Amino acid sequence: MENVHIHASADVSPKAKIREGTKIWNNSQIREDAEIGENTIISKNVYIDSGVKIGKNCKIQNNVSVYHGVTIEDGVFVGPHVCFTNDMYPRAINPDGSIKSASDWEVSKTLIKKGASIGANSTILPVIIGEFALIAAGSVVTKDVPDYALVMGVPARIVGKVNKEGRRVE
């Protein structure tokens, strides 16, 4: 791991793949089999679950939770306190009352495409967010988002289009 900065308080699995130029800050946890691309910044208190894939040149801000089943492509911005979910039918127990195990669970997939931005305090259900799409702060994304779409609200709805700079266009 050349030119990688990992803060002393971070917990990075030796089975994680961390690429050159990446910075991992205070109290973050990177689980086994996670992959983080070149020059990506993982800010304070970020949780990256096992098997998560994050591309190069991404910025993952403080207190973000990225759970198993999520893939984030290159150049994505994820604002503070964003939470990615991965279970469409969350339950702690089975119908018979027994506690659910890993074999009782079906992971749902999420894909965040190149250049997308997700605003602070957003919740992302298992969806596909298109290239250079912009998710407004505080949104709850329950459906796929097209390329270059601007979405906001609870649930998030398309309210316009943006360019590669994130500026609204007609």
Q: Count CA within 13 A, CB hemisphere, residue 77.
A: 15
Give the Cβ contact number of residue 141 at 10 Å. Answer: 25
- Cβ atoms of 49 and 71 within 8 Å: the answer is no
Please indicate whether residue 68 is annotated as part of the active site. Answer: yes
Q: Which residue, 33, 29, 27, is CA-closest to 12? A: 29
Q: Which of 5, 7, 68, 81 is catalytic?
A: 68
Q: Which residue, 14, 80, 71, 13, is CA-closest to 41? A: 80
Q: What is the largest CA-CA distance in the chain?
A: 54
Q: What is the spatial distance between Cα 38 and Cα 46, in angstroms, rounded to a whole number?
A: 17
Q: Which residue, 127, 135, 124, is CA-closest to 159? A: 135
Give the tokens for residue 1.
């791991």
Q: Which residues are annotated as catalytic?
A: 68
